[in-house]
Structure 1
Amino acid sequence: MNQLKERLQKKLDHLRRGEVLYYKTEDSSDVYAFCFLKNSSAQNLTTLMTYGGPLSLLVSDQSEICKSREKIADCTVLACDFSAQGLMTLASNPKQEGPDRILLRVVESHDILKNLSVEGRIVEFASNVEGEEHCLIYTKIYNSINVDSSLLLNEEDISLARFFNPRLIDMTGMTEVELQQGTFKLYSFYSEIDGRYHWAFVCNDRKKENETPLVRIESECLTGHVFGSLLCDCGDQLSKGLEEIKAYGYGALVYLRQEGRGIGLKAKLDAYYFQQFHDMDTVDANLAVGMPEDARDYLIGAQILNYLKFEPLKLLTNNPAKISGLNRYGLSVEQQVSHIIPPSKHNKRYLDTKRDRMGHRI
């Protein structure tokens, strides 16, 4: 397990055991402490009470506390016994009565990936822990304390931890398909991150002990893959990628729905206009329509490879950004395998731009 996985897994395991974690906001020095209510200890809850801020409960709208009521607002006051034991009882008996009151904050589950509030960030990280929807207790820290850095979360930790989140990727089906390159097992995945289906064409013909799979990450290109555009090499890249994986005998082509290097079909066609009528290359054309030169992210691809247990892997690519994109989420790329497509008079400038301006090893 690499350092990234070790760091995040330690924090998840700590939270899973009912211990206290800490979250530091990106735009300020504010620090929050939180833990699961149900499997926490009286000592942990007592510790939270010493931090100087009011304690609040924090849940997603799928939690038992929300389901036990016909209607519940974002901020709801619950009756309770404001002691460590009384708060722990709330997790199993959310309708209990008591002489005290505690604020319940609710994060909408459909909005969790876009909710950048402190509450949204904490609930998203906690959702990496498998099981029923959890109830957290949290507080802002006002008193001066020394926080163990290994237990301190930041925004990057929460984003990278999506790789571990079993709720964000769902394998929706598998079948065999006969392609020109041979027979593959076709896996379908639905991603909660972008609300799209993605696919993996898997070959397992000649797996040997300790064999490293050959993998290609292919991003959607409607014009090249479907209509055979000569302006890019995407159609040939897809066909040759499947061919090489089949010849190797063990691996997968992961097909991600990231049209136009992640900028979408409309923006890509707008960029085509600037290439054809203003003599721009693909980088300047993307920038001219207000888009980055490459907006792709490889989290969903990393999740699919994690599901397939393809790690370490050999990556069939000329693009070093794909290697760093998978490394970012903790996947180990053992070797880069060149994926060279001979240029034509139509796409030579496109391929030169990949080499000269985007660092492709062509």
Structure 2
Amino acid sequence: MDHLLNERLKQIEISGIRKFFNMVADEEDVISLTIGQPDFHTPEHIKQAATDALALNKTSYTHNAGILALRKAISAYNEEKNHLSYDPESEIIVTTGASQAIDITFRGILNSGDEVILPGPIYPGYAPLIALAGAKAVYADTTKDGFKLTKENLLRHITERTKCVVLPYPSNPTGASFTKEELEALVSVLQDKDIFILADEIYSELVYEMPHHSIATFDAVRDKTIVINGLSKSHSMTGFRIGYLLAPAWLAKELLKIHQYNVSCASSISQYAALEALTNGKNDPRVMLEAYNERREYVYERLISMGLTVNKPEGAFYFFPEFPMKEMSSFQLGLELVRKGKVALVPGSSFSTIGEGYMRLSYAYDINTIKKALDRLENFLQM
């Protein structure tokens, strides 16, 4: 009966990351640097808050947008950390992970035939949701611009059908991030156009030399910007599934309808854990950031010494080196790395065809694992 399924659904394939992971999962003695998940445990005080919430029977439905105390904490946290001002009662929705926030945003703003500009290479979670909404993903190649969407590149891809541009920075898979001046250039293009901006800032706490800048701080585009964030990366809470979106009140009111019928509300227990994270755990990300930075320096020096072309990440916890094996696809290279080198990286093609020729390396692993994996990678390149 598959002919009865939604035609848009049938055109979507499993994520290239997951497809590759499943193919090599049974290989023996392989060191993996594939997963984009913090290798730190959720801080104890956050886990205790979840335990306390269970003991106090805080297990019922919450307000559709999330408990007000959490929305107030999200507002205060973003004011302090990212200089963003959002009303907790009308401009914040707590979601089941950042992915659900992205989904309800696309379903709320896109109509059939609309176009969404994606700066590639890019995390593969956007295009399927765009397609399910009946719209089209339009990829802008950023490989010649440090993996950042520039004013000129943006202008080349805007058409009369453009409804939204996605700004996923700091970037998965490249680690690229924007300066304030780079954002100003994009604002100059978008401020007078009827185009939404989806700013996915899930890695905003994981930036290194320069501070994180959000395009939503620019008044000229605030009313058309949806900021996506969450606690998975900042507080190592991937399994709690708490994300949130920040949007102007007129838009948040509409998106809340989709959220309400989609999940009713995010997990009550997870919300109380998130409340603890954003109040008493505001500085928890610093410990992880220091460790990531040490790993980043080590990995960068090793990759350069191997003769690979690679940009030093400005945020997140990924490298996206270019590989010289042009006679094979990045997927084939990934399989060769696993079978001959006994090390797993994610093929660049998982992040759109623009990522062909690259591989993503996650350094969300302990330093000993990283060292062993890079030794194997170096041996493979010398074969």
Task: Give the TM-score band, short-chain normalised.
Answer: under 0.3
Greater per-residue strand proportion = 1
Higher relative contact order (CA 8 A, sep 6+): 2
Give the structure with higher Rg (CA): 1
How high is the TM-score relative to the length of structure 2?
A: 0.22
